[in-house]
Amino acid sequence: MDQNHDLIAYLTELLYPFILLFGFYVIIYGDISPGGGFQGGAILASVIILRYISYPLGEVELHTLQKIEKIFYISIVLVPLLSLFTRQVALTNFLLPYPHLARWYLIILNLLIGFKVCLGLSVIFYEFVLHERRWFK
Amino acid sequence: MIWKRFKLFCGILSAILCIWAMVHTDPPLHSFPLAKSYQRDSLQETGAQNAATAIYLDYRVYDSLFESLLLLISAVSIHHLNKEGTHGSKS
Show the 3-state SS of B19-83: HHHHHHCCCCHHHCHHHHHHHHHHHHHHCCCCHHHHHHHHHCHHHHHHHHHHHHHHHHHHHHHCC
Q: Looking at per-residue confidence, does B30 or B81 come out higher? A: B81
d(Cα A119, Cα A69) in Å, to the nearest integer? 6
Given this model, what pLDDT does residue B47 score? 87
Mean pLDDT by 10 residues, chain A (137 residues): 74 92 94 91 93 82 91 94 90 89 93 95 91 76
Q: Domain limits of chain A? A: 6-135
- Judge: A93–B90 Cβ closer than 8 Å, yes or no: no
Of A32, A69, A106, the CB nearest to B72: A69
Interface size between A and B, measured as CB pairs under 8 A: 90
- Judge: A92–B56 Cβ closer than 8 Å, yes or no: no
Asked if pLDDT for residue B91 goes beyond 50, the answer is no
Of A76, A93, A127, the CB nearest to B47: A93
Q: Domain limits of chain B? A: 34-82
Residues 6+ apart with CB under 8 A from A80: A90, A91, A92, A94, A109, B61, B65
Q: What is the ipTM of this complex?
A: 0.86
d(Cα A122, Cα A60) in Å, to the nearest integer? 10
- Judge: B58–A92 Cβ closer than 8 Å, yes or no: yes
pTM equals 0.83
* A119, A124, A134, A136: best to mutate for the B interface, most B CBs within 10 A: A124
In angstroms, the separation between the Cα of residue B71 and the nearest Cα of chain A is: 6
Q: Looking at per-residue confidence, does B90 or A128 come out higher? A: A128
Long-range contacts of A7-13, Cβ-Cβ distance < 8 Å, separation of 24 or more = A8/A53, A8/A54, A9/A54, A9/A55, A12/A50, A12/A51, A12/A53, A12/A54, A13/A54
| pLDDT digits 0-9 by tens, B10-54 | 999 999 999 998 888 777 767 788 888 888 888 888 888 898 999
Q: Which amino acid is at A118?
A: C
Given this model, what pLDDT does residue A3 score? 61
